[in-house]
Amino acid sequence: MPHRILLVEDDDKLGRQVAKSLRDAGLAVDWIQDGGAAFGVSPSAYSLLILDLMLPGKHGLDVLEHLRADSDVPVLVLSARNDTTDKVRALELGADDYLTKPFWPEELLARVKARLRRPALERDGVIAGGGLTVDCNARTVLVHEVAIELTRVEFDLLVALARRPVRRIRRLAADVRRVATERYVEPVIVRGAGEIAQLATAFNDAGAEVRSHLESLEERDRTLRAFVANTTHDVMLPLTVLQGHLSALRDRADAGTPVEREVVTDAMEEAHYLASLVANLGAAVKLEAGAAHIHRHPVDLSELVERVAGRQRPIARQRGIRIELSLPGGQLWTAGDVTLIEQAVSNLAHNAVRYHDHGGRVELRLAATECADSSATFSLRVVDDGPGLSDEALARVAERSFRTDEARRRHPEGLGLGLHNAQSVALAHGVELEIRRTEPRGLEVELRGPLASPTDEAPAA
């Protein structure tokens, strides 16, 4: 026997279309066009009610509220009203689904079939569960297959009590679907007490966890998009310059003419800058991802500073700039993420070389110091005798993407991440970073932070 559907829709054309679509799918359909007439229909004769809201006679929500007073027949609401308030109101009154107009007939049919496939808690007038079976048509009650005699009043009261959890479960199911559609921004409404209320609370706990994961994934996605955008835009210019230098070298090699030292120097500098740029983009992503992505272990600062100086010397040598080291006699340890700390120190040294004049000098000075409270700290200073900075530039130089006019003139492709990343690394490790001018000219950048033993681990920031 086919499922019978009650369609309550006042629009003549739409009603005929929906009824035909359902009948073509093998369903029996009764169609009425007045809300008042729906009040006189027995819902127990139907497997599903499709209900429009804007009806003559009685509003669809009034029909729904009247229906839910004594029936659990599934209700699919059709409405042109797309406001969230209307949807929530209908679902709270007991609707099982809500489809907004306009809609495709295929979607309506799919929703109807999905609703009809769901196992009903009450089917063919029988309520069953927990060993209790109530036949509403035959008015019989079985408890673990044993017949129980009840008066008419007792039977009606039992049916009302047995049906109540069914309504609450359906209302909870509607709430869960609504919350899921809205990406778990609002919690499921917890009504009353008991096991169904506990189930609603469990849904809220699970929803909060899902929302947390969604936000984490969205943040990672934003970080990845920013990384790709920055990389694509800011790598292309120095890569183009490097290609131009290599092309010039190839042409000279083909012609058998001597290679100009200046072309080789510029090509090396662009390659060095590209490596620095990619490292800084990676560091920026790691810093923005938060403390959980910063790996903290003992770091030998003396060895780290020597590595940094070794990487900067080839470029400095080509530009006629001396790099001088001043290190303590032995190892000097701090605790933190060695990759980020090394990148920060590399940025300071790289800037000092990159924006210096030919024949200048850059010093990296590492020393242990003692504070007034007798705690041991380190001081790492990068000092140059270059052109220095104006007061305005000095105040803003660590801002992300800020570059001085002189820096733009000398190297227009710069991204402005170096000092900003260095400051971010310092903050993440509880290290102070100070930038000041030196006399008669030049700049000094100092990092001051706590010392540690080779076995110490840095606390989470």
The sign of the torsion formed by the CA atoms of 210, 211, 215, 221 equals positive
Length of the chain: 461
Gap between the Cα atoms of 450 and 439, Å rounded: 28
**Beta bridge partner(s), residue 333:** 300
Are the C-beta atoms of residues 273 and 234 closer than 8 Å to each other? Answer: no
Q: What is the pTM of this model?
A: 0.44
Gap between the Cα atoms of 65 and 42, Å rounded: 14
Phi, then psi, of 370 in degrees rounded to 5? -130, 130
**The CATH number of domain 122-182, selected from 3.30.450.70, 3.40.50.720, 3.10.450.50, 1.10.10.10:** 1.10.10.10
pLDDT of amino acid 298:
92
Fold of 1-118: Rossmann fold (3.40.50)
Gap between the Cα atoms of 425 and 282, Å rounded: 13
CA distances from 406 to 271, 356, 386, 389, 403 (A): 21, 11, 12, 9, 8
Q: Which of 43, 66, 53 is nearest to 98 (CA)?
A: 53
Token code pair at residue 89: 């109101």
Q: What is the DSSP letter of 357?
A: P
118 Cα distance to chain centroid = 34
pLDDT of amino acid 227:
64
Where in the sequence of the chain do the CATH 3.30.565.10 domains occur? 216-450
- Go through 395-434 and write b for each residue having 16 or more CB atoms within 10 A of its CB, e for each that does not: eebbeeeebbeebeeebebbbbbbbbbbbbbbebbebebe
Instruction: Give per-10-residue mean pLDDT for the chain (461 aa).
Output: 87 90 92 91 88 90 84 87 81 86 88 76 61 82 86 76 65 77 79 73 83 83 71 63 79 85 76 72 70 79 92 84 92 89 88 87 92 82 88 70 46 55 88 89 92 68 44
Counting DSSP H helices and E strands in the chain, the numbers are 13, 17
Are the C-beta atoms of residues 164 and 155 closer than 8 Å to each other? Answer: no
Terminal C-alpha separation, the chain: 68
Are the C-beta atoms of residues 425 and 344 closer than 8 Å to each other? Answer: yes
Report DSSP letters for 373-398, one per residue.
TS-EEEEEEEEE-S----HHHHHHTT
pLDDT of amino acid 377:
93
Strand 432-437 to 361-370 pairing: unpaired
Gap between the Cα atoms of 199 and 203, Å rounded: 6
Residue 167 parent element (H or E): helix 152-181
Tell me, what amino acid is at 177? R
pLDDT of amino acid 415:
41
Q: Which of 96, 110, 85, 246 is nearest to 176 (CA)?
A: 96
Phi, then psi, of 417 in degrees rounded to 5? -100, -20
pLDDT of amino acid 446:
94
Where in the sequence of the chain do the CATH 3.40.50.2300 domains occur? 1-118
CATH dotted code for 216-450: 3.30.565.10
Gap between the Cα atoms of 425 and 337, Å rounded: 9
Report DSSP letters for 109-124, one per residue.
HHHHHHHHHSPPSEET
Gap between the Cα atoms of 154 and 169, Å rounded: 24
Are the C-beta atoms of residues 60 and 79 closer than 8 Å to each other? Answer: yes
pLDDT of amino acid 161:
65
